[in-house]
């Protein structure tokens, strides 16, 4: 119980300006990017350094009070909603780039640093940090690490996990550990670094990260291919990969998404197309030109109705920005937007889209689909209205059936959004009861009192999603 004594101890550590329990602060931190989910914290705190985080943790562990680490709350799995109350710890004050090491091609950063700001900073130094979640203009690196964020470049460059090589983290008991380092190889014991990436704030609080940087590609080219048949688009994806090419980006938008995005971004896309692919290749000029030429051929041979290569960087950027804004564009349609994250082996993309369409029809709900086709990572997105209880139930039933189809096709319930609250009831479908038990064992080893982001990843039978109205 967060009583006056606990508040006094926390205020002593943080100072009264960084320890807030006024209604505005509590309400502002009662939800995140996830629709239909809200729960009030008892306190919101803003630590300045690792020492404060450690001191806070000791107090909360002693009193067994939940601690929810939070960056900008852009996640879509309810990852930062304080479903069991407690303290929300916002990392925005710890937002420094501590070092960019040019000799080792690493950067050391604090968790509250904005992703885009960091990305641009290293770009100005002639370096490249590939992870580019669609929320990057708002999100923090700490949040990206906690959720193992992906993005449009995952196919060729991997996700956040592939770039985190060292961490400083505070354990539930307040102890500070350091993992990895400025090291391209490290097998000293279990890989705690990679275990913490994507652990959704349930194992430790990340207070510093060392990230791997790479030389940027020297050239890139973006193209668009449009299809009147979904299978043609999906076959194009398979053919490109089979032809031993890994594009930097290989994005898919279905007809419904296409229309909404075109309304929003005014691209003048042919709205009758069943599917479009946005394809980007980067690297050496010669190989990019060759790949784009070969991909163009493949698109044509797979019955693309229209294929065009962006004539300028601006035109290319416009296409990718349109794709990045798919969520925002869809959110304009109806008051409630539920963006999901089903991932299948990339050879199953067409089957999965057909399944999604079949299921949407069965439950009479509107689901648009777009996503990272090259990764097999699709984002079926329902546009609905929380006030229509009957429709919301149908949407939820449809998504459950979509996850079932994902698993059936050899996929997973989440490719980049995380489990959080939203996917917790489905986790066992992917990892099995023995997998859940092992994960619970890991959780217990790190956090025996279950104070770190409780209620996430592991489902309780009794959980109810709290539905609030939006828009």
Show contacts with its own copies in window 265-284 (CB under 8 A).
283-284
Angle between helices 349-362 and 389-408 (to 10 degrees): 150
x-or-dash string of contact with its own copies, 394-413, rule CB under 8 A: ----------------xxxx
The two tokens of residue 309 are 């290569």
CB of 295 to its own copies, least distance (A): 13
Window 287 to 346, contacts with its own copies (CB under 8 A): 287, 290, 343-346
User: Which residue in this structure is represented by tokens 């709350």?
Assistant: 73
**Of 223, 229, 197, 228, nearest to 210 (Cα)?**
197
Nearer to its own copies, 250 or 304 (CB): 250
Contact between 169 and 206 under an 8 Å Cβ cutoff? The reply is yes
Q: Quick one: which of 48, 191, 272, 297 contacts its own copies (CB under 8 A)?
A: 191
Residues 167-199: b if buried by 16+ CB within 10 A, e if exposed? bbbbbbebebeebbbbeeeeeeeeebbbebbbb
The two tokens of residue 332 are 């304009």
CB of 343 to its own copies, least distance (A): 6
**Is 271 in a helix, a strand, or coil?**
coil
Q: Quick one: which of 23, 24, 244, 462 contacts its own copies (CB under 8 A)?
A: 244
**Of 116, 87, 98, nearest to 205 (Cα)?**
87
Nearer to its own copies, 59 or 167 (CB): 167
CB of 456 to its own copies, least distance (A): 10
Select from 63-71, 113-121, 213-221, 255-263 the region that touches its own copies (CB under 8 A).
Answer: 213-221
CB of 437 to its own copies, least distance (A): 8
Nearer to its own copies, 268 or 286 (CB): 286
Select from 54-62, 136-144, 222-230, 429-437 the region that touches its own copies (CB under 8 A).
Answer: 429-437
- Please name every residue paired with 342 in a beta bridge, in sequence order, or none if there are none: 378
Nearer to its own copies, 204 or 260 (CB): 204
How many Å apart are CA 146 and CA 158, to the nearest integer? 16
How many Å apart are CA 206 and CA 214, to the nearest integer? 23
Instruction: Tell me if 414 contacts its own copies by CB under 8 A.
Output: yes
Window 105 to 164, contacts with its own copies (CB under 8 A): 105-106, 126-127, 147-148, 150, 154-155, 159, 161-162
Contact between 306 and 232 under an 8 Å Cβ cutoff? The reply is no
Q: Quick one: which of 51, 64, 178, 393 contacts its own copies (CB under 8 A)?
A: 178
CB of 440 to its own copies, least distance (A): 8
Nearer to its own copies, 196 or 226 (CB): 196
In whole angstroms, what separates CA 454 from the centre of its chain?
20
């Amino acid at each position: 119980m967060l009583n006056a004594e606990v508040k006094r101890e926390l205020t002593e550590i943080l100072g009264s300006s960084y320890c807030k329990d006024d209604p505005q602060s509590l309400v502002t931190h009662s939800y995140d990017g996830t629709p239909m989910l809200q729960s009030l914290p008892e306190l919101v705190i803003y630590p300045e350094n690792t020492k404060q985080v450690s001191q806070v943790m000791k107090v909360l562990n002693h009193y067994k009070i939940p601690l929810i680490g939070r960056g900008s709350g852009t996640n879509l799995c309810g990852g930062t909603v304080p479903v069991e109350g407690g303290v929300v710890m916002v990392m925005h004050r710890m937002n420094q780039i501590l070092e960019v090491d040019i000799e080792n091609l690493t950067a050391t950063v604090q968790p509250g640093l904005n992703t885009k700001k960091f990305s641009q900073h290293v770009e100005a130094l002639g370096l490249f940090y590939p992870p580019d979640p669609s929320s990057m203009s708002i999100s923090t690196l700490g949040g990206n690490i906690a959720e193992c964020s992906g993005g449009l470049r995952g196919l060729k460059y991997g996700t956040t996990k592939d770039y985190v090589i060292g961490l400083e983290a505070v354990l539930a008991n307040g102890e500070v550990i350091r993992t990895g380092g400025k090291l391209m190889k490290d097998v000293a014991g279990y890989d705690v670094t990679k275990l913490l990436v994507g652990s959704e704030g349930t194992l430790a609080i990340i207070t510093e990260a060392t990230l791997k940087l790479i030389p940027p590609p020297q050239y890139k080219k973006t193209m668009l291919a449009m299809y009147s048949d979904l299978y043609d688009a999906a076959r194009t994806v398979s053919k490109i990969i089979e032809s031993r090419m890994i594009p930097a980006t290989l994005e898919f938008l279905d007809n419904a998404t296409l229309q909404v995005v075109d309304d929003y971004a005014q691209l003048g896309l042919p709205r009758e197309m069943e599917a479009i692919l946005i394809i980007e290749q980067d690297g050496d000029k010669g190989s990019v030109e060759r790949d784009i030429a070969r991909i163009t051929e493949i698109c044509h041979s797979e019955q693309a109705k229209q294929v065009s290569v962006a004539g300028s960087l601006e035109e290319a950027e416009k296409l990718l920005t349109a794709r990045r804004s798919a969520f925002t564009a869809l959110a304009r349609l109806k008051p409630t937007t539920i963006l999901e994250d089903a991932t299948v082996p990339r050879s199953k993309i067409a089957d999965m889209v057909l399944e999604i369409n079949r299921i949407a029809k069965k439950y009479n709900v509107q689901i648009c689909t777009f996503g990272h086709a090259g990764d097999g990572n699709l984002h079926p997105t329902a546009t609905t209205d929380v006030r229509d209880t009957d429709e919301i139930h149908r949407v939820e039933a449809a998504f459950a059936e979509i996850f079932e189809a994902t698993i059936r096709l050899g996929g997973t319930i989440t490719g980049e959004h995380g489990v959080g609250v939203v996917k917790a009831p489905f986790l066992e479908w992917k990892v099995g009861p023995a997998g859940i038990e092992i994960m619970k064992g890991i959780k217990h080893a790190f956090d025996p009192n279950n104070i770190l982001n409780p209620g996430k990843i592991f489902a309780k039978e009794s959980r109810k999603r709290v539905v609030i109205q939006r828009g």
